[in-house]
């Protein structure tokens, strides 16, 4: 087998371990401590924020405008509406600021 194929297989196994690993560790405990539960409840906002914040900081006016509009739309509308609004602002703004 080629090296590339080995990399793909090993990468796939490593990835699956991250996807099932947290559950396998947590499920060993009978009772979940309230503080651990509070931590787990914070997971979505904590992780997803790290996928936005550095990208936003390194961006320019067009991207900031898109994020602000998308953020405002998300206060009222659904996910699809906020996403389309943000994408529309981004494409429009980039025609002017590049």
Residues that bind other proteins (CB under 8 A): 3-12, 14-27, 32, 34-57, 59, 63, 66-67, 70-71, 74-75, 79-80, 82-83, 86-87, 90-91, 94-95
User: In whole angstroms, what is the distance from residue 90 CA to residue 61 CA?
Assistant: 9
Least separation, in Å, of the C-beta of 1 and other proteins? 11
Least separation, in Å, of the C-beta of 16 and other proteins? 6
What is the residue whose two structure tokens read 């405008």?
65
Least separation, in Å, of the C-beta of 30 and other proteins? 13
Is 30 or 34 the residue whose CB approaches other proteins more closely? 34
Is 30 or 32 the residue whose CB approaches other proteins more closely? 32
User: In whole angstroms, what is the distance from residue 48 CA to residue 87 CA?
Assistant: 18
What is the residue whose two structure tokens read 């490593």?
14
């Amino acid at each position: 087998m080629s090296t590339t194929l080995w990399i793909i297989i090993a990468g796939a196994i490593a990835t699956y371990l991250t996807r099932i690993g947290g559950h396998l560790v947590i499920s060993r405990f009978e009772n979940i401590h309230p503080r651990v539960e509070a931590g787990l409840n914070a997971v979505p906002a904590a992780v997803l924020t790290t996928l936005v914040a550095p990208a936003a900081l390194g961006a320019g006016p067009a991207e900031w405008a898109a994020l602000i509009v998308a953020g405002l739309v998300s206060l009222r509308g659904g996910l699809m509406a906020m996403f389309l609004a943000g994408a529309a602002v981004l494409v429009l703004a980039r025609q002017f600021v590049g």
